[in-house]
Chain A
């Protein structure tokens, strides 16, 4: 507190905002991870020592637990090393490159996301404008949210494979299926969000249905659309990853997870998992950035 005449220091500003606490929590998580790695890997390590009739010290034990080949919980630096190796040190065309696998997953994610979003918006427009569609279709759209849709993923892959459709498309179908529900529901809400007074205003101008749609309903729905797009892109990635499981580990992040679990390659699983998390985070960040751009152009209060 002393000497803070020139206002709060950078440090205290960081700590009173979000950045500081988030960093502290992240550091704590890493520390916890290391401790966990030591304790979880220690039994097998001690087992190994006893079998080799080797004497060991605590520091040696810690060192060895953090450097096992197939640890129960790999240490962060092991995962980081593996990620560096498979992302930067491998040619991206190689089957060992995580960039290659990420791209495989990402391409079906984006394809599914695109189709699903368009489908969702079209459906929402229909539901908002046709009373019968709303009453008959909307209850099903809502209740379909409660169904574990991912369960049909293997079937879609195998059935589409049986009629000769393979590769990106079946996974994109799953992603499409997953992401059009949140988009539809949000867009219905958004297209309905104009206040009565605003709709009355359009009526006093004798505006047509389409004019009301373009001038009032669609702009009002933008915040809702972006909120649902964030959910949709995330769930779309999950769909693509799960869609890669039944094909028996050919390519993609999901395949890396499955292959890792077949062969007990924990480091591989963790690096695939962290890469997937990174890709998901990037997608959400991009959608968020787009949202800010669009809303700023629309003059929404920052």
Chain B
């Protein structure tokens, strides 16, 4: 019990921050031949580094055990991150970052990891507290990744045509909302939603019809399963030829892509009701439709929603890729391929961020409805421990 256990991460953080104060902050300017910047000239950064040394040394000794100490570490790290970014952009270190700067980033990494570690291992019996911790951890991790991306790109001076920093993408996202709104409307509202509804709806009806004919069921199910492994996206050029450049051809691709997952899942789901329950319905002399609506469709719902979730992702992919084969001059896929051609990579990233947001929101909406509709299902029961 009396054995002293040093906190390794904090030790690394403290040492790295200490070395950061000693090593040169930035490289040499090619034109003037002088050092770009010194720690001594940037009081904010110097304070941040000193704080890291102090906090690191202190926590190395006392250890990081409580959430409070983890939060203190994270707060120090956040201040450090802020100072690092401001050093890059306000003091001209961007593109000239030297050993000292990177040592400081390593120090920050150690603190962030240790801080997240403490919160990730936090256990509370109160659901609200536990859930807050469960949200903070991935969010903090994601922010850290964005920061690393920003700092690496700016610090090494990576050309923007290769990889723009997230701040630049964010600015582009905000400043070109009108273009993005038009693309979103064209690709998502027109093509994705109509194709999704049509594809899923027709497959659902087809599944109920197929279910009545065992012969068809046995014939279609293996084929349907096989089709899901095929690169159906390849029908895109054919659909563009048949239905023209506008959204109808994209909707057609989506209908084909979403049809089979829905068909297979619904047919499987309709057979999911147990024999016992079916026998029970039989003892009530319940007819086909009555059994379908009272027993088999509700039992099939988890399967149907599974297909709806798979299809929500497939639909967006289908629409974007189909636009690579021909489109009017609007749409997310069109924007991506043309802006790549013009080397406006920040616009491409903004468009990808939009696609990610749309995809996640779409999936989230379907998942939300699923949760409401099939709350009885075991996978949604609240876990006790």
Contact = CB atoms under 8 A, between A and B. Distances in A.
Determine if chain A interacts with chain B: yes
Interface of A: 15, 17-18, 20-26, 72, 131-132, 134-140, 143, 145-152, 154-155, 158-159, 162-163, 230-231, 234, 237-238, 241-242, 245-246, 253-254, 257-258, 260-261, 264, 266, 269-270, 272-273, 276-277, 280-281, 283-284
B277 interface: no
Contacts of A272: 234
B324 interface: yes
Interface string B134-149: 1001101110000000
B325 to A, nearest CB: 6
B231 A246 contact: no
Interface of B: 113, 116-117, 120-121, 134, 137-138, 140-142, 161-163, 215-220, 222-223, 226, 228-231, 233-238, 240-242, 312-313, 316-317, 320-321, 324-326, 332-333, 336-337, 340-341, 343, 345, 348-349, 351-352, 355-356, 359-360, 362-364
A119 B360 CA distance: 24
B216 A25 contact: yes
A21 B224 CA distance: 13
11 contacts: A72-B241, A148-B313, A150-B233, A154-B324, A154-B348, A245-B321, A245-B325, A261-B238, A273-B234, A276-B234, A281-B230
A245 B333 CA distance: 12
Contact of B120 (A21, A136, A254, A269): A136
A155 B140 contact: no
B230 A241 contact: no
A63 B340 CA distance: 46
A145 B238 CA distance: 27
Contacts of B355: 147-148, 151
Q: A-side binding surface: helix, strand, loop or mixed?
A: helix
A3 B121 CA distance: 72
A177 B206 CA distance: 35
Contact of A132 (B116, B163, B312): B116
A261 B223 contact: no
Contact of A22 (B121, B137, B223): B223
Contacts of B222: 18, 22
Contacts of B343: 158, 162
| Most A CB within 10 A of own CB, among B134, B161, B234, B360 | B234
A258 B336 contact: no
Contacts of A162: 161-162, 343
A288 to B, nearest CB: 10
Contact of B231 (A131, A241, A260, A270): A241
B121 A151 contact: no
Contact of B313 (A145, A237, A258, A266): A145
Contacts of A266: 238, 241
A150 B321 contact: yes
A281 B352 contact: no
Contacts of B161: 159, 162
Contacts of B352: 151-152, 155
Given A131-B120, A269-B238, A241 B137 contact: no
Nearest to A70: B241
A283 B230 CA distance: 10
B356 to A, nearest CB: 4
A280 B231 contact: yes
